[in-house]
Structures are given as C-alpha cells and as structure tokens.
Copies of this chain bind each other. A is one copy, B any other.
Amino acid sequence: MSARSQAAPARRAPRAAVPRRGRDGTATRARIEAEALALFAQKGIDGTSVRDIALRAGLSEGALYRHFPSKEELARELFLSHYAALARAICAVDARDVGLAEKLRDVVALACRLFDEEPALFAYLLIHQHDHLRHVPATPDANVVEAVALLLRDAGLTPERAALASAMALGCVVQPAVFALYGRLDGPLAARADEIARAVTGIVEGARGA
C-alpha cells in the first residue's frame, strides 16, 4: 500500500503492462454472450447462475448488469438474435433463382454446417426453443419456422399443406441433430446432409403432388 501511494502522482505506465480485462470496447459483451451460451446449452438456463456466467467471463456479477438488464433478457436476446440469423439465412436461400430441390439441399446443408461449427449454439436453440418460442415474431426474417413455411409456399404448396410439410421437414433435420448431440449419430452432420436432403425433398414433393 505504501509503495503504491508513493508512486501514485504521475503514473500511467503500469496499467498497460497488465492485459486489462475490461475497457476493451465491446469485447466484454461478446465474452459474456459466448460464456452464457455455452453454459445455458450445457446446464440449462435455470441451472446456470449469474455468478457462473460472470466468473467465466472474467468479471463480477455487478458488472454483468452494466451490459444486460437481467438474466432472462440475456437468455432471450441470445436466442432471438441467433434464431433470427438462421431464419434470414434460410430466406436468402429461398430468394435465389434455383429449383426447389436445390433450395432444400442448401437449407439442409446450411443447418448441418451450423450444427457442426457451433454445436453449443445449435444445442441452445434446440433445447430451449420452448422457453422462447412464444416471444419470436411470426415473420420469415426472425422465425425459422416461418422462413421454411414461406419457402414451401413459394414452391407452390398451399398454406395448409405447407404447415404440415414444414413441420416434417424441420423434424428431419432437427431430430438427427438431437441424435448427434446424444452420441447416437457419429461424425459431422454435414456427412448426412445429402441423405437428409433427399428425405426432405421426398416429403415436400409428396405434399405438392398429393
């Protein structure tokens, strides 16, 4: 203590020596989001305490509340933003001027890639959909389900047929992902993308033809 106060007056240097934890722009927020996502996916939202998140993000509980108004808001924002991003990616595929089969193949491949590259994110979206689905807007650029349904309607399915077909098509991707999460399916999901896409195409063609 005495050494510090003695050297205090004109000090600037010693700060830089330490790779300061805070004060690095928006990196703190990103770190909080990343750690929260990993913890939420692994232990659940209720199973994860704010202490856990703050600790792993390298700051105090109080500091976390400088970035998010509440744990619930953090969980919701995390879900809604990534869910919307996936929905927009699907819309982008739909917007391209190619055939239905190619669109379906690309959407399936997109989902498989997301699963392989960001398993924690995918698991979070999968497992906690039921906590947040009621807060998702019913627009194709914020809602994966609406995006898929729109794609099918654009391909000529009636809204009624598109509803069931989009459910089954989603199930053909989601459930293999669940299996992969629990170790019932080995290797990257992308390796199965073609077979999944074939099944999805069969379902959609069936719904269009019948």
State the A residues within 8 Å of B (CB). 44, 46-47, 127, 130-131, 133-134, 145, 163-164, 167-168, 170-176, 178-179, 182, 184-185, 192, 195-196, 198-199, 202-203, 206-207, 210
Contact = CB atoms under 8 A, between A and B. Distances in A.
Contact of A173 (B163, B171, B179): B171
A131 B178 CA distance: 13
A202 B206 contact: yes
A184 B168 CA distance: 13
Contacts of A182: 133-134
Contact of A127 (B130, B195, B196): B130
A163 B179 contact: yes
**Nearest 5 interchain pairs by C-beta:** A171-B171, A171-B175, A46-B46, A167-B176, A167-B179
Copies of this chain assembled into the complex:
2
Contacts of A179: 145, 163-164, 167
Contacts of A195: 164, 207, 210
5 contacts: A44-B131, A167-B175, A167-B176, A167-B184, A202-B202
Interface core residue of A47, A127, A174, A175 (most chain B CB under 10 Å): A175
Given A163-B185, A172-B203, A198-B206, 15 more contacts: A44-B131, A46-B46, A46-B47, A163-B179, A163-B184, A164-B179, A164-B185, A164-B192, A164-B195, A167-B175, A167-B176, A168-B172, A171-B175, A174-B175, A203-B203
B171 A168 contact: yes
A176 B185 contact: no
Nearest to A174: B171
Contacts of A198: 206
A168 B127 contact: no
A207 B176 CA distance: 14
A133 to B, nearest CB: 6
A150 to B, nearest CB: 13
A178 B169 CA distance: 13
